[in-house]
Structure 1
């Protein structure tokens, strides 16, 4: 089979022919990968800023069909040969007995937050190859309404921003701020937020992402939502433009109940914090190596709550896919063949927003009995 391998940090991927993975055992399943999406984490990993596993086949958001199943997967899941599944990166082989695995969010003995679990595309080979071994407990059945290229970006970008929105604990009719609204996560977050009954205040600072976010609003016909260019409009101006609530608040009471911080920049974080009203919630998704500077005044005098959100549970992923299937939430996608992965990476570095996906069906899939 063909695979794109990262053999050294800060170098291009190398297209390689590899043997097929060994037949799956236990909870594992072998899937034929049909689509594999490129994530910001792939770029960070390739730079050497996280992880040490080399050589590695990256990609932790992909989709495919089940080819064979381990014994436990056959008896404990409804998967079968030919099942169409999305594959999030977390969590491969959780320990089964830590507090996370026993918390009951997913099935007992499994948690995407298990500190001992592996991650496809980060600690072990992921989706930039024709066939991959995954844990049957981490996969998500694909609704008939979704194709592989549509599903792959949802397995990290979609799931992460959907889970972050749920962490906001908003009520229908509330407004959420999304800083980085035109990126891979952001433009999906705009769509999910509106489908969840919220209005959106989107912030970005580049032409192409701003256009993408605006197009998402237009498609959703959300008249109460707004997109702002951070280069020309500061947080104070955003708050004055927004419609005032029925009870006119004091100037110090203005603001949003929650914001998502998606970019890895202090400026983005500070902008988002400035949008929050007293007792608001800041949900941080990004993880810059140098961290963020937090104002003690925001924490103490505004009583702002700051929480992190890594990824959603398997249960959350299923809820997210079902909502996607019922609506027209879709990632803005551009596709490349497996052979052209390095060209995809160059396009990613231009920062034009949306999601970039390897479509392996455009590459000529190898047969299971073949290479």
Structure 2
């Protein structure tokens, strides 16, 4: 759909775009909220194949995700907003030191949900006060399929890795939306510019893409380190490397990042460094220290136990026997999930004789941790 120069509300659209940019958004596009929506069918196929893994909420909200108007029948237009979070350094550099943690770029600063939501609400209030009409704001915690909506609004296209790619910002756009009852002209949709490139598919450490534009979340490191509770399947632990929260590989390798720009939003760079935090330090976090360290970060939502689990798998992948000093206290951790990860790390760091002595002294009661000792030995 292309913009209609005769549309009576074209001037309104232009005013809204200007206000969005003034509020700090880096991209703003418009799409019909009521047009046909094939993406709902694609999501049903994704769930039917079990690719959503333990994310039961995706199945529970399928009907609400089927169409933008499924949540609000009166919506006519989607105003889709983007905020650039382009990093200062190539995220793949964080993988070079296995004794330090690699944390996904999006989680290195303040929680983007809070940063964006304030701006979305400000824009929605302004729209309602200026033009009337009803408005509702959405960031990705709501069941609205924002990536295909962003493509329809011209902000970018969904690459073969299923993430949004922008000709202006590469892989680094946070998205939010304002649905409105105002009838506004749509922007031209963006077309796919991936061509024959498959860099994002080939770099995936766990082979999470069974085909272009198809993601099996059960194999995705972001899913494994963030969404999955309990032990991470053994077959994927080595592939984690030092990635303890999310994975940027498929995003970072995209050739379109050559046009990306450093984010001007300092809140997203609050913790970014070329070298990540020490795994040894992170392994020692108790719950209060974890909460204090990540009080403004999206990392806080996975909780201390899941986080330290990830850290211990990374330590096991480090090849640095000196890090055993950080592992041993976790063998007595109150959390069985943490204890199990510590057993796996110990087996990777110690020689067989040393590990056998440690196993002989273990008095583990939790079946899942006993299984780790048995498997490791």
TM-score range, shorter chain: under 0.3
Q: Compare the two structures and name the one with the higher strand fraction.
A: 1
Question: If you compute each CA radius of gyration, which structure gives the higher value, 1 or 2?
Answer: 2
Q: How does the TM-score come out when normalised to structure 2?
A: 0.26
